Structure 1
Amino acid sequence: MTVATKKIYHKWTAAEEELLLNEYDGSAESAEMLAKKLDINPEWVRRKANRLLNAEASDGVADNPSFFTVDDICYALGVPAHKVNTWISSGALRKERIPGGFVVTRQELKRFFLKFTGELEGWQPKPEILKDIIQSEIKND
């Protein structure tokens, strides 16, 4: 007798990673499309794509990532992790759950910056990253 097991891990091939880099645009639709092509969970697609995008950057944060971890936000804003976690737990900065943790979307970061500008006073944000996020387009603005 065999017991059916749920697949909880996917070993990524170089070809699959290349496909993610070329076709993933940060939208739920592209994650769904790629998940169907690869026969895996769409959340795994989103998570792996974000990691690949972040790994391409030389300075610790990708040139244009769709998702940010707490570490990415700390680097970009020059704030300690407890400050970012306070913003998240208070609801000022909304997170999106993914397998193994959570991320903050680019759109949510922009919304946070525009609504809570005063929260950055006294900290040393990276101006080039802040400018890039603020100038990015937000869906349903």
Structure 2
Amino acid sequence: MQSEELLGNLSSDENGAPKKEKKSPLVSLEKDLTFYADSIREVAVEIMMEGISLNPIFIAHQHEVSIGEIILNRAELNTEWTIQASTLEEFIQKGIIHPDKKEQFLKTYKKPENYMCVFVVVPEGANFVYYPYPKGK
């Protein structure tokens, strides 16, 4: 994914005319993650407390993905992003994270009590984002 697609492109087109600013998908994602924060935190705690995994991962998408379980459906909630819950173990099992890269991933994995680990999937690709839970909750 090009940075212009993520952040909006303010440059000119091939004719030299200013391009219309594209709205970044990250703007709507941030809005939805803030809205979903309490529910996501609840699921993360449940995943850890039930011993399923110490490393919950949430998948944010606007299409269909075949990993994790839907916990927040954009169609039902009138939002722009669907969130699915998964784990590091499932990401390794499905080959998204290579087993040899597990330790490297864990070094960058932020405290799940403070941050949601979100695997953001867009048509151009996917990447991990750590989004902090709102303070005072």
Q: TM-score range by the shorter chain?
A: under 0.3
Normalising by structure 1, we get a TM-score of 0.24
Q: Higher relative contact order at CA 8 Å, sep ≥6: structure 1 or structure 2?
A: 2
Between Structure 1 and Structure 2, the one with more strand by share is: 2
Which TM-score applies when normalising by structure 2? 0.25
